[in-house]
Amino acid sequence: MAEGATARDGGGAAPLLEVVGLRIELERRAEAPVPIARDVSLRVEEGEIVGLIGESGSGKTMTAKSLLGLLPERIRVVAGRAMFRSRDLFALTPPQMREVRGAEIALIPQDALHALNPVQVVGRQVGEPVEVHARRPGPEIRELVVRLLERVHIPNPRARSADYPHQFSGGMQQRALTAMALSMEPPLILADEPTTALDVTIQAEIIALIRDLRAQTGTSFLFISHDLGLVSSLCDRIYVMYAGEIVESGVREEIFDRPRHPYTRALMGAAPRLLGNPERLSTIPGRIPQPSEEIAGCRFRVRCPLAEARCAEPPPLREAARGHDARCWLA
């Protein structure tokens, strides 16, 4: 779709995806469950590229996995809904979820090096969603796989599709996973740090590919990253996540030009130049609290340079400017 106002303002139609009040918990044997995501609400409009950023351990991956019923053992969605094309993803039966997964919503998983099956050739895996969902004849699937591998710039795609994952570099494995996500042309792709393992050149290619896809097919993305430079160049709207909570959200210009939450500002302060410094998020003083740590009030309070007495009360997520929310008493 065109870079129009509709997707960015929300238009009038229902969002493609709308998550409301999501709570994810880790169950423990003898102790109370640990909240991993707390009251997370977010939406992705048709044709929108939405960023979800925050330090490692914020709950970004668990949020994405919850949408596809892929949470690990003992981690569960305990509250909230995720409306996708007028169905609640959290209410789907396992067979219904299998129909959605890969065909309507695809995940490009974070860890390319462990996501592929080591004992199956790459081409077979890339073609798996089509095999499962579209049940097309083998030769047709093999041709499609070659085109998909070509599209993500894998050289000699016909020959390479017969390789095993270990014969691919990390960057090529990541591109193969991207090809797999594209195979059914799903309307929504959840891309979990899809470029982290890649060198800068290939990273730029993947980003260009995401942009092209959106332009050509209107594919929407939830783009998860800890890389502010990438998010600022790619995303229309951004959610900032900290310690299991959304602490700020808004259109790109609002977030990058007028950040309201001290955490978002700290992220940017830790990114003196927005591009090319992978270490940038490690430079905020202190560390992100473990989900099990009880912190009364604002969860960023202990690291916040502006914290004051009222921050011992939990701040609500409030509108700070039009379409720009922040979870901070000072915003």
Q: Which of 119, 162, 156 is nearest to 142 (CA)?
A: 162
Binder of residue 291, out of Mg ion, ligand ADP, none (CB less than 5 to 8 A by kind): ligand ADP
Looking only at residues 71 through 110 of this chain, which bind ligand ADP when binding is defined by CB under 6 A? 72, 75
**Per CB under 5 A, which region of 52-60, 74-82, 121-129, 164-172 contacts Mg ion?**
52-60
217: left (phi over 0), alpha (psi -120 to 50) or beta: alpha
Hey, what amino acid is at 290? Answer: Q
Count of residues interacting with ligand ADP (CB under 6 A): 13
Name the nearest CA neighbour of 180 among 166, 199, 161. 161
Picked from ligand ADP, Mg ion, none, the partner binding residue 170 (CB below 5 to 8 A depending on kind) is none
The answer to whether residue 59 forms part of the interface with ligand ADP (CB under 6 A) is yes
Q: Which of the stretches 56-64, 65-73, 211-219, 244-252 binds Mg ion when contact is defined by CB under 5 A?
A: 56-64
Return the one option of ligand ADP, Mg ion, none that residue 72 interacts with (CB less than 5 to 8 A, by type): ligand ADP
Residue 219 binds Mg ion (CB under 5 A)? no
Long-range contacts of 125-128, Cβ-Cβ distance < 8 Å, separation of 24 or more: 125/165, 125/176, 125/180, 126/161, 126/176, 126/179, 126/180, 126/183, 127/183, 128/102, 128/180
- Say which residues have a Cβ less than 8 Å from residue 25's Cβ, sequence separation at least 6: 33, 34, 35, 36, 75, 76, 78
Residue nearest to ligand ADP (CB): 61
Q: Which of 272, 221, 228, 273 is nearest to 252 (CA)?
A: 228
Q: Is 112 among the residues that bind ligand ADP (CB under 6 A)?
A: no
Type of residue found at 326: A
Residues 24-43 interacting with ligand ADP (rule: CB under 6 A): 26, 36
> Could you say whether residue 61 binds Mg ion (CB under 5 A)?
yes
Phi, psi of 87 (to 5 degrees): -125, 145
Size of the site for Mg ion (CB under 5 A): 3
| 60 touching ligand ADP, by CB under 6 A | yes
Rounded to a whole number of angstroms, the minimum distance from the CB of residue 19 to ligand ADP is 14
Of residues 165, 85, 181, 92, the one with CA closest to residue 133: 181
CB 327 → ligand ADP: shortest distance, Å?
A: 17
Give me the least distance between CB of 62 and ligand ADP, in Å please. Answer: 4
Q: From CA 71, how far away is CA 178, in angstroms rounded?
A: 20
Here's the x/- map for ligand ADP, 274-313, by CB under 6 A: it reads as -----------------x----------------------
Stretch that binds Mg ion, among 53-61, 144-152, 168-176, 205-213 (CB under 5 A): 53-61
Among 61, 125, 195, 249, binds ligand ADP (CB under 6 A): 61
198 φ, ψ to 5°? -105, 155
At residue 238, φ and ψ (nearest 5 deg) are -135, 140
Judged by the rule CB under 5 A, the positions of this chain that interact with Mg ion are: 60-61, 110
